[in-house]
Amino acid sequence: MELKPIEVDMLIGIYQMNLNNRGTISMEDYVLEEDDEFEQKQEFYSYLNELKKLHYIEFENKDFIFGGQVSKKYGTNVQIINYNRIKITKKGINYMVPLN
């Protein structure tokens, strides 16, 4: 499956964050389609979740805080994203190597 451009950008950010063993990525670093802040979080989380499903990154749901209303579009209700707990996998690193 081919990654969307924003997913590639996010993977690059996570790779650099993990490589340098410091820093973090942030939702504000990416151009998202949604205008509403709540929906932006859900959109951002959906990209992270897709990268996780494809085994490019790993994180645990306990690293996020969920609650409140559920997005009708994304079916999620993430409130806080703990960016520094997101780790790139060996598969994610292998994807990145040809890009460098």
Q: Domains in the chain: how many in total?
A: 1
Please report, for residues 40, 83, 94, the alpha-carbon distance to residue 80 in angstroms, rounded to integers and kept in the order given.
12, 9, 29
Residue numbers of the chain with a pLDDT score lower than 50: none
Q: What is the pLDDT of residue 46?
A: 96
Q: What is the pLDDT of residue 100?
A: 60
Three-state DSSP at 28 gives helix
Q: What is the pLDDT of residue 78?
A: 96
Say what the pTM is.
Answer: 0.91
pLDDT in tens, 29-56: 999 999 999 999 999 999 999 999 999 9
Q: What is the pLDDT of residue 21?
A: 76
Neighbours of 44 (CB within 10 A): 24
User: 43: domain range?
Assistant: 5-99
**How far apart are the C-alpha atoms of 70 and 61, rounded to whole Å?**
16
